[in-house]
């Protein structure tokens, strides 16, 4: 069946902001879908609130709405655009949920829009746990014993019926399994189930028999309208059941099943997709398998493109999202061609001749109070993938791709062996860490082997399959052999076991350069292999490579000038999709300039690792060794390090020392901006102001500096991104605590101490410079005051309260610094403005997190222009010579992950903790802000009960604000202190008890969903215990909780704007036209 | 990773290309035609498939032996291939059904095997140069000697491999019908109470799973030697005849072609792989040798009668030449990768033949329905 010609205009819904459980993989799938549909001649209307995505670039869809993904807003877009169909399966759970809501409200029917890809009934069958379970039993497949509960009573009844602990709790319709967990006893059951009931939009939780120790598998399946079904990739989880698959280390293909068992799972997968009735497109189906009996259970299915399908696409080279989009418009699989071979059909099953390992990346260091145990609720924020001819190669490569400072499984000088004070192994710690899974469990397995535990011992504790453990043991044995006699073990053998030069150097007491020299002398170079979907059975034309140590290299080098772009590696807090966006733009721009682009990255979720993005893709770790190998192999003209965040910048100097040409801004400029002393000297020379500060290399020096410049001070380690370990310190005691606990301080890693400006306005500036000229991209005024990490603050283009004098100062300072630093490309500056004075907080001569936001606000692709400048183009030749100040307002708001880390206090500070961002656009500032809040969730309430409790310093300022809220129609509740202040000013307020004073208190109101807005400014770094309890409860109940006074003021204005009139939507293309 | 306990082994191709690695099976020297298989699972079924008689197989998936071996997954009583070539084997086997590690299994069956080979390089070499003869040895010999042995290997076409693998006696497969097709969900519309038709199955190197599936579709299966005459078969008064898979060059089996023609004129017939090629020859078609064959479990085939595509298991080095297909035959199935013939029917007679392996093992179960189709063909004939 060829494509459906009755379709003309297709509405595609994106996944919104990056949150835990929904990362940038949906930008990858969305971009593929947009391209595939446009290629077929359809008009594409796109809605996505996330400006850092490639898919929301104006050229990817015909009409792009950067608007909140809510049923109300999407209906407005439908009315405006009149699409004939809606594709709901490529934007993650967000798109699926909003599409289902549109169906339920009859909106699609009303406007004559039909769902393509999956129908509503199929989505319902796949997503509703009870319906799904019954369906599985009907088709003869087994599921875990379980029951769905809608109340605590039902929870207990089901638990008693199953009859044993532990029990698994899974709430229905939540992202990444939010609110789920494992209960080992009745108390835990009640606690977790209540949280789950609260979080589930349908107040439904599934209580399940524990599958502790079972093996977990996944199948990525595609079906077309003629009922042809194929498996794209099979995945085996290294971690057993009980750890969310997003948090599990996984391997493709399945390693430990015979063909008989594999085919049984394949048959079951097809039975599931057929029974659920997914008409066309991809689905992910998860299975559990009993390791001793082989009993196989179906766990769940996702009737849509998922995180795993992005991984499967990268692991096999089969573009699932692209094919899914084409199937949705009516094609059959056999009518489509395999992109990689260009000669064979897309209706086949990829077969691979390498091993793929995925490892998630965690950021528990940002949430010290959160439980770091891995459970059924996803907690990781990113992932890496590595390919090798063997599991051992892939595993070690994946571990060094993580960028957690490790260079493989161990033996890299970074081991923290669990030993007792007498130097013997701490078996208790080892056993505990094997039994209770944590982010570092893979390293713990190595320690366990070193301590003498056997494969069987470790299996008994961790339930990890002996095959994986044995492979890890072989790595450990090789390490020990090499350590014992480095001269006798052939270097090639160690390389084939996946050891990095760094590890080999450590084991043989040499430098990495010495190992590298030996390797070259012996002619040992990595060989690059094609990811070709067919295990070399057919010739492949797509240049997508991984390295191994084998007999031949498959790269076909051209004579064109090549530029290498270093990606950002795994997503983490502080370095995410924004940087991948910049890398992708660099690829496009350099191709436009006639260069051949070489992309190096290790993150499977990204658009940069789509083999369509660059001319050559190397799926490799971003380490000195791996990058140099490719650079030398391909004889690149230069390397771009500006776009991938801190990852490539950290490599820049070392690369340059080894003869690599860095194009654009030079590493010495980066060093100048990062080095406190040099930077201060530069500002002095330019006559620019900075907050007073200095660098300390030990505790006593730090204390001395702080007392000289006066508290409060802002302290941070140098060379970090995302404000890691950054704190505002008010006392000497706090400073000592910080140095002793939070930060390693040494002459090599000094800390920076600055005078902290209280109640200053923070301003971010992104600019472009070519060595002769500097043009401002955007001046962003923050809503929250300086001191809150810029990544966690909302900001606005254009500025709304800064005076012309201040703006002039900012522009001049930016330009002076860009030219002084010889910036060729992008630069970001952070300013603090207080009493008309402009202070420079920080300068980063590289692409910033706000680059995509600014580009979308002003309609100029800044990253692209920056890449072109790096090749020698000038701003004037590129036609960008003047700052563009939009007539409309663009708000960027941060999205926080607190709901995934119960117990963490939600107050904002200098350490960044947000995972993603949204953009709100409107001609009215208040409405733009309201849209941003709506997109970031939860939306601002337009009335109801407001609870206020503020610190003493804010009590005066709160009075007019509360008046404003009363005027907007809110009823006000407050605790005693705040209430008294308000009453003294003649405001009518209902006083609530503190938690310790008994009921009714604010917690009761929160639990009854009787509070709609909370303004609660924290009383200090170690806040009053009640505050944390209240704020956590509010997060769990999805109540808007404002912890910063300036946010409250902006919110009041936004609510007023919202009450003044209906929301309107407008596409980014229209906004850009009006510029 | 090989350590010192693994002695060296050498793979020499007739064109002089050498691959060094480590022995992980029996010690000795073997010769044969070398080919590659792209299945990611099912090495045990590959090892025991009689169609590989006279060949050495390189697995493109690098990690082999992970789940060990067991009795149930054998496709015949012995290992037929001459040599086994992989990148890396596992020192432990991890699966609840595993009985013996792959290493011991190979040693017990005296099969020479080499690990540590860059099988992707080897595969590309074979893809570009075509299948060729090779020598695999764990013995002390020079590179030149090994290449000379590779060159001295008899061509596949010169050996009477079918005779080597066929049963010597007539027997009935699983008369009581106790043996289940392992893991394969058999959907048959025929009830147990119905009269079970009698099938004569020619064993040219038949895989056990074919027999299991014929049996589990409610047919009694009499297995006969390859050279059993048509008269002797007709004397058994069967309701249908099955022509099995098997090794070697189909063109060289002229007496079997004649028997096939006689039988196909009288009875419903079903052929798989070599069985299809024999039936083709019987009606005047010819076969040619493919450059590097089709061996794997991911091969797409379209049923031209329904348009449906199934992923199939394949293992063949020859194909039907469509250019000179006799008018009496029609193409029912087609390989989507290279558009070669994957299935044939006779325009007048009840004949069903496929080039791929509906019995899978290893591979997908998508085409199991063909066994049901054969059973229906017999039933409609009887009715």
Span A998-1007, pLDDT tens digits: 888 888 898 8
Can you read off the two tokens belonging to residue A975? 């605790």
- How many angstroms separate the CA atoms of A537 and B85, rounded? 16
Q: List every span in chain B annotated with CATH 3.40.50.880.
A: 161-382
Instruction: Compute the average pLDDT of residues A534-557.
Output: 94
- The per-residue pLDDT for range A863-879, each reduced to its tens digit, is 999 999 999 999 999 99
- How many angstroms separate the CA atoms of A755 and A693, rounded? 6
Sign of CA dihedral A574, A578, A582, A583: positive
pLDDT-derived band at A646 (thresholds 50, 70, 90) equals: very high
Query: In 3-state terms, what secondary structure has residue A401?
Result: helix
* pLDDT value of position A724: 74
- The per-residue pLDDT for range A381-438, each reduced to its tens digit, is 999 999 999 999 999 999 999 999 999 999 999 999 999 999 999 999 999 999 999 9
- The per-residue pLDDT for range A261-306, each reduced to its tens digit, is 999 999 999 999 999 999 999 999 999 999 999 999 999 999 999 9
A391 close contact with B: CB closer than 8 A: yes
Sort out which chain A residues have CB atoms less than 8 A from B360's CB and list them. 259, 263
* pLDDT value of position B146: 98
- How many angstroms separate the CA atoms of B210 and B45, rounded? 13
Instruction: Compute the average pLDDT of residues A97-115.
Output: 97
**Which of A264, A392, A535 lies at the smallest CB-CB distance from B183?**
A264
* Cβ A62 vs Cβ A45: under 8 Å: yes
Tell me the pLDDT of chain A averaged across its residues.
94
Sort out which chain B residues have CB atoms less than 8 A from A226's CB and list them. 307-309
- The per-residue pLDDT for range A87-98, each reduced to its tens digit, is 999 999 999 999
* pLDDT value of position B2: 42
- The per-residue pLDDT for range A474-518, each reduced to its tens digit, is 999 999 999 999 999 999 999 999 999 999 999 999 999 999 999
- How many angstroms separate the CA atoms of A439 and A352, rounded? 29
- How many angstroms separate the CA atoms of B87 and B69, rounded? 18
Is the pLDDT at A1023 greater than 60? The verdict is no
Name the nearest CA neighbour of B6 among B116, B134, B125, B148: B116
Interface list for A 288-347 with B (CB within 8 A): 291-294, 332-334, 344-345, 347
Top CATH class of B8-154 equals: alpha beta
Interface contact A552-B41, CB threshold 8 A: no
A320 contact partners, CB below 8 Å, separation of at least 6: A29, A220, A222, A232, A282, A305, A309, A310, A312, A313
Percentage of chain A with pLDDT > 90? 81
**Most A CBs within 10 Å, among B5, B63, B99, B186, to test the A interface:** B63
Q: Which one-letter DSSP state was computed for residue B357?
A: B
Is the pLDDT at B80 greater than 60? The verdict is yes
Is the pLDDT at A178 greater than 60? The verdict is yes
* pLDDT value of position A376: 85
Taken as a whole, chain A contains a residue count of 1075
* Cβ A138 vs Cβ A125: under 8 Å: no
pLDDT-derived band at B1 (thresholds 50, 70, 90) equals: very low
User: What's the pTM value of the predicted model, to 2 decimals?
Assistant: 0.95
Nearest 10 degrees: Cα torsion B15, B17, B22, B25 = -20
Sort out which chain A residues have CB atoms less than 8 A from B308's CB and list them. 226-228
Identify the bridge partners of residue A662 per DSSP, sorted by sequence position.
Answer: A639
B124 close contact with A: CB closer than 8 A: yes
Q: Which one-letter DSSP state was computed for residue A1057?
A: H
- β-strands B112-115, B83-85 pairing: parallel
Interface list for A 794-853 with B (CB within 8 A): none
Q: Which one-letter DSSP state was computed for residue A358?
A: E
CATH number of the B161-382 domain: 3.40.50.880
**Most A CBs within 10 Å, among B6, B20, B66, B336, to test the A interface:** B66
Which residue in A has a C-alpha nearest to residue B312's C-alpha?
A: A348
Is the pLDDT at A168 greater than 90? The verdict is no
Residue A962 neighbours by CB distance under 10 Å: 25
Sign of CA dihedral B75, B79, B84, B90: positive
Name the nearest CA neighbour of A1047 among A929, A941, A955, A948: A929
Q: List every span in chain B annotated with CATH 3.50.30.20.
A: 8-154
Query: In 3-state terms, what secondary structure has residue A804?
Result: helix
* pLDDT value of position A303: 92
Percentage of chain A with pLDDT > 70? 98
- The per-residue pLDDT for range A73-86, each reduced to its tens digit, is 999 999 999 999 99
Is the pLDDT at A163 greater than 70? The verdict is yes
Can you read off the two tokens belonging to residue A834? 């207080």
Instruction: Compute the average pLDDT of residues B16-43.
Output: 97
A478 close contact with B: CB closer than 8 A: yes
Quickly tell me which residue has 């995945």 as its tokens.
Answer: A235
Interface contact B88-A389, CB threshold 8 A: yes
Tell me the pLDDT of chain B averaged across its residues.
94
**Which of A291, A389, A534 lies at the smallest CB-CB distance from B87?**
A389
Interface list for A 441-470 with B (CB within 8 A): 455, 465-467, 470
A390 close contact with B: CB closer than 8 A: yes
Can you read off the two tokens belonging to residue A89? 């399966």
Instruction: Compute the average pLDDT of residues B234-246.
Output: 97
From the CA of B235, how many Å to the nearest CA of chain A? Answer: 38
Q: Report how far apart, in Å, the C-alpha atoms of A1033 and of each of A901, A905, A1059, B82, B178 are.
A: 12, 10, 28, 69, 62
- How many angstroms separate the CA atoms of A544 and A616, rounded? 6
Sign of CA dihedral A912, A916, A922, A926: negative
B187 close contact with A: CB closer than 8 A: no
A351 close contact with B: CB closer than 8 A: yes
Q: Report how far apart, in Å, the C-alpha atoms of A957 and of each of A190, A757, A963, B196 are.
A: 42, 19, 11, 92
Q: Report how far apart, in Å, the C-alpha atoms of B343 and of each of A524, A1000, B226, B340, B367 are.
A: 49, 79, 22, 9, 12
pLDDT-derived band at B182 (thresholds 50, 70, 90) equals: low
Interface contact B41-A262, CB threshold 8 A: yes
Interface contact B61-A535, CB threshold 8 A: yes
Number of A–B residue contacts, CB under 8 Å = 177
Instruction: Compute the average pLDDT of residues A971-980.
Output: 92
Which residue in B has a C-alpha nearest to residue A223's C-alpha?
A: B309
Task: Enumerate the H helices of A541-697 as residue ranges.
Answer: 577-592, 624-634, 646-657, 667-674, 676-686
């Amino acid at each position: 069946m060829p494509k459906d010609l009755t379709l003309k205009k297709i509405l595609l819904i994106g996944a919104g902001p990056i949150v835990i459980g929904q990362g940038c993989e949906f930008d990858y799938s969305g971009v593929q879908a947009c391209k595939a549909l446009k290629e077929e001649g359809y008009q594409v209307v796109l809605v996505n609130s996330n400006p850092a995505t490639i898919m929301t670039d104006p050229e990817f869809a015909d009409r792009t709405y950067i608007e909140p993904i809510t049923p109300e807003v999407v209906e407005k877009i439908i009315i405006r655009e009149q699409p004939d169909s809606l594709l709901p399966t490529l934007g993650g759970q967000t798109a699926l949920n909003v599409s289902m809501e549109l169906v339920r409200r009859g909106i699609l029917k009303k406007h004559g829009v039909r769902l393509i890809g999956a129908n509503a009934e199929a989505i319902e069958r796949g997503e509703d746990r009870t319906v799904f379970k019954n369906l599985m039993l009907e088709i003869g497949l087994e599921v875990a014993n379980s029951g769905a509960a809608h109340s605590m009573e039902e929870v207990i009844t089901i638990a008693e019926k199953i009859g044993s602990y532990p029990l698994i709790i899974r709430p229905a319709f939540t992202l990444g399994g939010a609110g789920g967990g494992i209960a080992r006893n009745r108390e835990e059951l009640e606690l977790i189930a209540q949280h789950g009931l609260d979080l589930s939009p349908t107040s439904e939780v599934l209580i399940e028999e524990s599958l502790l120790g079972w093996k977990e598998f996944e199948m990525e399946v595609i079906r077309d309208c003629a009922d042809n079904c194929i498996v794209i990739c099979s995945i085996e989880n290294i971690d057993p059941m009980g750890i969310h698959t997003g948090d599990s280390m996984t391997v493709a293909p399945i390693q430990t099943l015979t063909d008989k068992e594999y085919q049984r799972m394949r048959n079951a997968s097809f039975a599931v997709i057929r029974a659920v009735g997914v008409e066309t497109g991809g689905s992910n189906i998860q299975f559990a398998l009993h390791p001793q009996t082989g009993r196989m259970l179906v766990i769940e299915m996702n009737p849509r493109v998922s995180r795993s399908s992005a991984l499967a696409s990268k692991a096999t080279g089969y573009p699932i999202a692209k094919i899914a989009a084409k199937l949705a418009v009516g094609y059959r699989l056999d009518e489509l061609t395999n992109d990689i071979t260009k000669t064979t059909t897309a209706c086949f099953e990829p077969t691979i001749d390498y091993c793929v390992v995925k490892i998630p990346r965690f950021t528990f260091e940002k949430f010290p109070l959160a439980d770091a145990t891995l459970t059924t609720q996803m907690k990781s924020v990113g992932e890496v993938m590595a390919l090798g001819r063997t599991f051992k190669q892939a595993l070690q490569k994946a571990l060094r791709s993580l960028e957690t400072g490790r260079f493989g499984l161990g033996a890299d000088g970074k081991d923290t062996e669990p030993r007792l004070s007498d130097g013997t192994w701490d078996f208790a710690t080892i056993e505990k860490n094997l039994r209770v899974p944590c982010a570092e469990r893979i390293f713990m397995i190595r320690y366990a082997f070193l301590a003498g535990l056997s494969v069987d011992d470790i299996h008994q504790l961790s339930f990890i399959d002996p095959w994986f453990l044995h492979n890890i043991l072989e790595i450990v044995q090789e390490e020990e052999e090499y350590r014992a006699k480095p001269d006798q073990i052939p270097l090639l053998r160690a390389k084939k076991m996946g050891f990095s030069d760094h590890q080999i150097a450590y084991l043989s007491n040499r430098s990495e350069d010495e190992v590298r020299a030996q390797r070259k002398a012996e002619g040992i170079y990595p060989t690059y292999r094609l990811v070709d979907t067919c295990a070399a059975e057919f010739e492949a034309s797509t240049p997508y490579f991984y390295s191994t140590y084998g007999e031949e290299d498959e790269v076909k080098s051209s004579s064109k000038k090549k530029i290498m772009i270093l990606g950002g590696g795994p997503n983490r807090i502080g370095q995410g999709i924004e940087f991948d966006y910049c890398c992708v733009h660099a690829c496009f721009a350099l191709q436009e300039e006639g260069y051949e682009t070489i992309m190096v990255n290790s993150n499977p979720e990204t658009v940069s690792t789509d083999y369509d993005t660059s001319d050559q893709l190397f799926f490799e770790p971003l380490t000195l060794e791996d990058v140099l190998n490719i650079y030398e192999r391909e004889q690149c003209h230069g390397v771009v390090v500006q776009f991938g965040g801190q990852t490539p910048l950290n490599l820049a100097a070392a690369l340059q020392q080894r003869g690599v040409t860095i194009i654009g801004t030079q590493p010495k400029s980066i060093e100048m901006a990062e080095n406190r002393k040099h930077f201060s000297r530069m500002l002095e020379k330019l006559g620019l102001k900075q907050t007073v500060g200095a660098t300390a290399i030990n505790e006593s020096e730090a204390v001395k500096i702080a007392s000289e410049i006066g508290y409060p001070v802002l302290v941070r380690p140098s060379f970090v991104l995302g404000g890691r370990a950054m704190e505002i310190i008010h006392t000497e005691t706090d400073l000592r605590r910080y140095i002793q606990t939070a930060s390693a301080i040494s002459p090599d890693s000094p800390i920076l101490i600055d005078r902290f400006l209280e109640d200053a306005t923070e301003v971010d500036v992104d600019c472009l410079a070519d060595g002769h000229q500097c043009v401002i991209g955007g001046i962003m005024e923050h809503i929250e005051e300086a001191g809150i990490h810029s990544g966690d603050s909302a900001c606005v283009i254009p500025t709304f309260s800064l005076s012309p004098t201040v703006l002039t100062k900012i522009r001049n300072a930016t330009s002076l610094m860009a030219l002084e630093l010889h910036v060729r490309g992008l630069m970001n500056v952070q300013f603090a403005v207080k009493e008309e004075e402009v202070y420079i907080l920080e300068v980063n001569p590289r692409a910033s997190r706000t680059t995509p936001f600014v580009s979308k606000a002003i309609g100029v692709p800044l990253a692209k222009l920056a890449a072109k400048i790096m090749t020698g183009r000038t701003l004037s030749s590129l036609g960008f010579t003047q700052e563009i100040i939009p007539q409309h307002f663009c708000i960027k708001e941060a999205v926080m992950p607190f709901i995934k880390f119960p117990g963490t206090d939600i107050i904002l500070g200098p350490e960044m903790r947000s995972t993603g961002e949204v953009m709100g656009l409107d001609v009215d500032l208040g409405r733009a802000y309201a849209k941003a809040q709506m997109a970031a969730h939860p939306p601002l309430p337009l009335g109801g009960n407001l609870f206020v409790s503020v610190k003493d310093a804010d009590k005066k300022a709160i009075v007019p604000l509360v008046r404003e809220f009363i005027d907007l129609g809110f009823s006000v509740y407050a605790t005693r202190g705040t209430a008294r202040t308000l009453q003294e000013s003649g405001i009518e307020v209902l006083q609530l008890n503190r938690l310790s004073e008994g009921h009714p208190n604010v917690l009761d109101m929160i639990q009854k969903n009787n509070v709609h807005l909370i303004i609660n400014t924290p009383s200090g770094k170690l806040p009053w215990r009640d505050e944390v309890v209240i704020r956590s409860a509010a997060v769990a109940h999805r109540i808007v909780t404002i912890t910063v006074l300036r946010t409250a003021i902006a919110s009041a204005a936004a609510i007023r704007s919202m009450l003044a009139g209906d929301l309107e939507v407008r596409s980014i293309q229209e906004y850009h036209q009006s510029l | 990773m090989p350590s010192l306990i693994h002695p060296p082994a050498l793979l020499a191709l007739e064109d002089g290309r050498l691959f060094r690695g480590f022995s992980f099976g029996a010690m000795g020297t073997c010769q044969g035609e070398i080919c590659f298989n792209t299945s990611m699972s099912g090495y045990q079924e590959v090892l025991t498939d009689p169609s590989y008689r006279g060949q050495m197989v390189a697995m493109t998936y690098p990690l082999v032996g992970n789940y060990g071996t067991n009795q149930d997954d054998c496709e015949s009583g012995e290992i037929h291939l001459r040599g086994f070539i992989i990148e890396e084997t596992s020192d432990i086997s991890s699966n609840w059904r595993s009985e013996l590690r792959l290493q011991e299994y190979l040693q017990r069956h005296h099969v020479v095997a080499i690990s540590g080979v860059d099988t992707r390089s080897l595969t590309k070499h074979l893809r570009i140069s075509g299948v060729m003869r090779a020598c695999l040895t764990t013995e002390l010999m020079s590179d030149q000697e090994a290449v000379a042995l590779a060159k001295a290997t008899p061509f596949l076409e010169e050996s009477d491999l079918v005779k080597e693998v066929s049963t010597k006696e007539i027997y009935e497969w699983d008369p009581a019908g106790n043996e289940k097709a392992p893991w394969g969900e058999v959907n048959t519309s025929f009830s147990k109470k119905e009269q079970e038709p009698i099938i004569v199955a020619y064993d040219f190197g038949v895989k056990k799973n074919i027999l299991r599936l014929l049996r589990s579709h409610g047919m009694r299966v009499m297995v006969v030697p390859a050279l059993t005459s048509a008269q002797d078969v007709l004397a058994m008064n069967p309701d249908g005849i099955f022509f099995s898979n098997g090794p070697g060059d189909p063109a060289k089996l002229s007496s079997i072609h004649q028997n096939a023609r006689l039988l196909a004129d009288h009875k419903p017939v079903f052929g798989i792989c070599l069985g299809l090629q024999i039936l083709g020859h019987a009606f005047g078609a010819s076969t040619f040798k493919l450059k590097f064959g089709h061996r794997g479990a991911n091969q797409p085939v379209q049923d031209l009668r329904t348009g449906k595509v199934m992923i199939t298991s394949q293992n063949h080095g020859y194909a039907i030449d469509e250019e000179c297909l006799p008018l009496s035959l029609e193409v029912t199935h087609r390989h989507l990768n290279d558009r070669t013939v994957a299935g044939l029917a006779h325009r007048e007679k009840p004949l069903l033949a496929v080039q791929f392996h509906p019995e899978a093992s290893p591979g997908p179960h998508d085409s199991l329905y063909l066994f049901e189709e054969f059973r229906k063909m017999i039933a409609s004939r009887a009715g």
